[in-house]
Every structure is written in C-alpha cells, then in structure tokens.
Amino acid sequence: MMERLDGRIADAIAKGDHDDPFGVLGPHGLPDGRLLIRAFLPDAESVAVLDAASGKEAGTLAATHPAGLFEGVLDNRAADFRYRLRVGYGGESVDIEDPYRFPALLGELDIHLLGEGNHLKLYTIMGAHPRRIDGVDGAAFAVWAPSARRVSVTGSFNQWDGRRHVMRKHHDIGVWEIFIPGLGEGEVYKFEIKDRFGNILPLKADPFARRCEHPPATASVIEGETTYAWKDAEWMKRRAETARHNRPVSIYEVHLGSWRRVPEDDNRVLTYHELADELVPYVRDLGFTHIELLPITEHPFDGSWGYQPIGLYAPTSRFGSPDDFRHFVDACHAAGIGVILDWVPGHFPTDTHGLEYFDGTHLYEHADPRQGRHMDWGTLIYNFGRREVTNFLHANALFWVNEYHLDGLRVDAVASMLYLDYSRNEGEWVPNKHGGRENLEAIDFLRRLNELVYAEGQGAFTMAEESTAWPMVSRPTYLGGLGFGYKWNMGWMHDTLSYISKDPVHRRYHHNDMTFGMLYAFTENYILPLSHDEVVHGKGSLLGRMPGDRWQRFASLRSYFGFMWTYPGKKLLFMGGEFAQEREWAFAESLDWHLLDDPLHAGVRLLIADLNGIYRRMAPLFEKDCEPDGFRWVECHDVDQSVFSYLRHAEDGRAVLVVSNFTPVPREGYRLGVPVVGEWVEALNTDDARYGGSGVLNHGPRAAEGVAWHDLPNSLVLSLPPLGTLVMETVAPPVAATTDAESAEDAPEPPAG
C-alpha cells in the first residue's frame, strides 16, 4: 500500500501555495519499482492513465482531495513512462498531457550564464517559446522571480487559475519554468505570482514576451520562432564596413502613430506594411540615409510616445505583428535606408502588470526611492547594480540589432542615468561609494552595452541623448569613454535655435550663439538634432519660432537648414520639419500634409531633398565631420551684417565654401577668402525661387582671384541673398564616393556613421 500524501502538502497544492509542485505532482518512482502518479485537476470527476505509445489504459487515479487532487500507482512502469491522462468532466472525457511529467528545461550552460549575468541570448530561454519535447507540442515558459513563493502561468487555457500550472523553481538562480503541452503561437497568458508572504500580486506580463496584446489590453502573447525570410543579406554584410564617421548620416525621426493616418477609416494609424509602402519611399526620395523610430517597444500609454515601455522585447502591436515589423525593416534596407530605434534602458512605468515590484520585492528597480524613482516622469529606475537586470537590458539591445536587423540604437535620457542627483534636490539622492554624484553602476552598464553592440551587433552603432558636459561620451571605453558612436549635440541645438528665433535686427547681439559650438565641436562625434523634443510642450513648431512676416519666417528656416546641413556633425530632423509644419506636433493626429499644396511649404521640402543630395554627394560635407581639420572659419566676426562663412574640407583636401546671411538685406560684392584660384559655382542657394526665395543667386562660374583675404591666398566676390545660405564648390570637382543606394545596378549600402 502507498503512503497517503501529507494533508498539509495536499492542501498547499490545492491552494496553489506549494513552491515545489514537481516534487509532488507528476510521476515518481517508488522503491518497489512501481510508479506513483499524482495530478491536480480541479472540477475533474475521473482520471485514467493512458499508455502514450499504445493509447491503452494503464491504470486510474483516485481522488484524494476535494479540490481536485488525484493519485494512483502503476505496476511495472519506469519513471520515464510516457503517459497521457484521460480526464472526465460531466460525463465527457478529454485526453491531455501532464505538464508535470516533463523534465527541467534549462541546461547547465544556461544556468551558469544566467547566474553570472552574461547570457547574451537570454531571450532564447526566457519568456514563452513554442517547443516540441518528447514528441509533444507545447510552450516552454521561464521567468525570473527569485523572492516569489509561487509562480504560475495563467490564461484562458486554464481559466486564469493560478493553481493549475505552478512552475518549477531553480533556487540557485531564481528562475521558474514549466512546459505546458498543447499551447502554441497566439495563446494569451500572464504570470500569477505569490509573494513571500503569500499575497497574490496583480497578474504580470512576461518581461520577455515577444508579442503583446493590443493596448489597452495588457496580456502577453506566445510568439513562435519567425519564419520570415529576410532579403537584406547584402545590407547586413556591408553595414559593418560602412558604419564609419566619414560617411553621410542624415536621419528622419518618426513617430509611426502620427506620421500619416487614414481619416476615411476612423483616423486609424498605418500598419507596418502600409508604412513600408508609404513612409519608406517618402524618406528615400527626400534623400535621408536613416529612419529613427520613436520607441516601438510595447508600451501601454499612447501619450508616452513609447518612452515608457513595458514589453521591451516586443514591437508594438499597434501597427501589426512582429513579422510585419520585420517586413518594414526589410523594406527600409531595400531602399538603402538604415533603421535606428529609440531605446529606453533608463526607466520604466509603474503599471501594475509591468516590472514594478515584480515578485513582491523591488526586483528590477532600486528599493530606495532616492535611487529607484524618477522624480520628473513618475517612473522607476533600473537597478544597474544587479547583474540579472543588466543582463536583461544588454540582451535586449542585442535582440533588436540581431533579431530585427536594426542598424542603430539611440539611447534615451543618458544624462538621467549618469547622475545620481539628476533632477533631485539636496537630500533626495544617495552618493556613490566615493561620495560623488556619478552613478558608477550605470556607467559600467553603458560601457558594457556599447562594447557588446560593437562586438556582437553585426555593424550596428549607438548614439546617446546626453544633455550635459559629461566627457568622452563618444570615445572608446579603452580610453575611458562611454563607448557610444555618436552623441546628440544638444548645446548646438539650443544655441542656434535661440539665435534664429531672434528678430534679424537683434541677431547681431547674439552672434556668439552661432559660433560658440565650434569651441567643442570635435570633442565628441556629434549628431545635430532637431528632434521631437523641440516641437512639443508649448515650444511650437520650428517655423513657428521664426520671426518676421510670412516670407521672412520661411526664409529664416530655409537658411537655418542650410547652415545645419553644412555644419560639422551628422543630421537629424523630426518629421514635419521637412515641409515646415505650422503647428506643434500632436501624437494623436496626422501631420498636416495639406500644407504641401502651398508653394512655400513645398519649397522647404524640396530644399531638404536638395540639401540631402549635396550632403551625400559632396565629400567635404561629411568625410571629416568629427575632425577639426575638416572645418575652417572664413569669417565669423561679421557681427554687424550677421554673416557667417566657413570652409569644409574632404580627406583629399577638396573644399566647399558655405556662407549664411541671417538678415533680410541682400549683400552685393561680398568678398571671401578661398584656398584655391579658379572657377567656383553655386551648388545650392536657399534663396532660390524654387524653394520660395527671392532669387538672389550667383549665376554661372565665379572666378577666384589671387587676392589674399581672410588669411587665405585667394578670394571670391559673391552676392549674398537675404536670409539665405549658399554653398559654393569648385568647377567639376572629383566625384565623391556615393552610397550604393544611388546606383541602379548595385545593392544598397547603408551610409551609417
């Protein structure tokens, strides 16, 4: 006779309060060679054991607890006996697999790498994955919850009953796992977690879910291994070779939900497939080299624009499936356009289905609110001192660049990560071990992030949104830097926008706003950003900042764009800026595409396309963006006339001359020093009538004379347009290397920086 299961253990199983259900349920070999099988099946009336091979009944299980606990003993059956259960409900029966008969899923290497926090493909074992085990199809689940008393997988498949599929715990690493037969792609689930005190927490979404329900629904969805057939092999092969600082990088920043909507269909957003058909050719025709996406990692609240993500491993379901997103990326690559993701490792929201207090402890966030709560955004800050947390984030970065072929990551809010006292008053922060304000753990996290992306990311690059004077953000880690490829030049953006927003008569008093940036222009590898942050929260649009009458406003903006596209640094422009959107950006509305019926708005878009064209064609405008000998002021002291002029140099010594006149007064006979004699021609003039300008152009070649000027051996006399920027190049310069996207015969090559 077998010994009856201890009543306390039976009660614990029945209440879903046992932390080792695999030690009780499923098959257990007895010393006398027989096989004990237990199953917990609430509402069942009878349970028979079937031989999986023959389908014949091998025995029955008797009810031993009113909540639905059954057990029985089979003679002459090995512990690895493959069986199924035939369960009777209300006079009918159903055959099921017993999830408790399957072995542990995690291998020794996985457990070792998890323990040391260095599993670079963490996403392949954590979360939910359809698998076939012992000839049975199902889904394998794994979740990190070291302080939980019990963790279960719940869903409609088990009536959201957390007692039915309690997971196995690996105590040494705090990971819970289970294989549930019969589940597959598309099944909706969450984790039910009981904390160490026995309290059931709000149901949690899977931190590693590769797909989520469409918000406002919050459950995770089982996503199978992709069968998507990528078509960008040539792109992926070449992007590492072209991810250099001497390449043109011009970025179109996009919020997918508001770029364009479908008003005749209840103003719905475009799908990933529609965006591939509409957004990609639009960006290609404008000549941008990259699209940067505001975060498309799954997020519950539209109004966060994606910057408060919960599903860090899932492309948002707002626009389609994960494979639909792959199609979008593939379409970008086919058009010669790289894809950058705004990536948010600095904080996460407090939604109860998310990471907050995940296992009944402050698992992902710091427990001390002086370290773990972001005061400005009401969000939580990752605990970068936990190796499991940094492993979660590092693996996520590699997930996007390798699994989704993304070409770059723009890391959001880096300054908030670097400083312990960021946006905090005295007494509201905790100093580091040296008594300083630097977040040493976050610094280590960022350095390791960049080392991994550049070592394992198949040529992907990184950039930092960092708004302070932190040194060496874009310098290698082996030199003491943070290791980013680029840094956003927030100082340049602030100073130049401040200048151009002044009335032209007052600009002479703010001349240094346009020249100050050159004092630090080569301390980092810079991107010049006119991002979404500059057209929200009451700031208005870029055009709205321009002073004067309507013509002057457009002229100032065109001239400013000309200055930006010829100034050292890669370029970034938020959507709508390319056609001078009048109003401030609104995340729930489409851009105002009707404005393109106005010649002035259409002229700005044409200018942006032409600026990208000369930028990609003229090597002096990009080859030495990050080197001081790629730039030389010609005249930066003409305060009274608000004129700026400078030379940009290529690696082979070729130069282009740029002149900006930021007053509405045309200036004839303006002499400027140039390095070589010969004929110069106007490659672009923002005052061209095609763009809506007054047409003050320098027609035909202009001969440079051997008259020394501005400490240069030769000089050139030009007509300067009102509120205009012009670009001069020598006649028939050698053709600069172009991207393969400009060749009809070759496959596109990514012009990453």
Are 694 and 721 within 8 A, CB to CB? Answer: yes
In order, the DSSP letters of 697-731 are ---S-EEEBS--BTTBSEEEEEEEPTTEEEEEEES
To the nearest 10°, report the CA torsion of 210, 213, 219, 222.
-40
- Is 465 one of the catalytic residues? yes
**What amino acid occupies position 305?**
W
Query: In 143-263, which ranges are continuous DSSP H helix?
Result: 233-242
Element (H, E) at 391: helix 387-398
Catalytic member of 330, 412, 466, 534 = 412
Quick one: which of 437, 343, 326, 419 has its CA closest to 375?
Answer: 419
Quick one: which of 584, 560, 574 has its CA closest to 530?
Answer: 574
To the nearest 10°, report the CA torsion of 219, 225, 229, 234.
100
Tokens found for residue 337: 């356009």
Angle among Cα 543, 549, 554 to the nearest 5 degrees reads 35
CA–CA gap between residue 23 and residue 100 (Å, rounded):
9
Residue 658: C-alpha distances to residues 345, 512, 661 (Å): 39, 18, 10
CA–CA gap between residue 2 and residue 71 (Å, rounded):
10
**End-to-end Cα distance, the chain:** 75
- Is 108 one of the catalytic residues? no
Element (H, E) at 442: helix 440-456
Catalytic member of 110, 465, 623, 740 = 465
As beta bridge partners, residue 297 has: 315
CA–CA gap between residue 693 and residue 679 (Å, rounded):
25
As beta bridge partners, residue 262 has: 268
Largest CA distance in the chain: 112
Are 317 and 306 within 8 A, CB to CB? Answer: no
Sequence-separated (6 or more) residues with CB below 8 Å from residue 713: 673, 675, 706
Element (H, E) at 251: strand 250-254
CA–CA gap between residue 487 and residue 495 (Å, rounded):
16
Judged by phi (left if over 0) then psi (alpha if -120 to 50, else beta), residue 648 lies in beta
- Please return the burial class of 588, using the count of CB atoms within 10 Å of its CB with bins 0-12, 13-18 and 19+: exposed
Query: In 195-340, which ranges are continuous DSSP H helix?
Result: 233-242, 272-286, 322-334
List the beta strands (DSSP E) in 520-642: 526-530, 570-574, 631-638
For 340, other C-beta atoms within 10 Å of its C-beta total 24
Are 392 and 446 within 8 A, CB to CB? Answer: no
What amino acid positions are annotated as catalytic residues? Answer: 412, 465
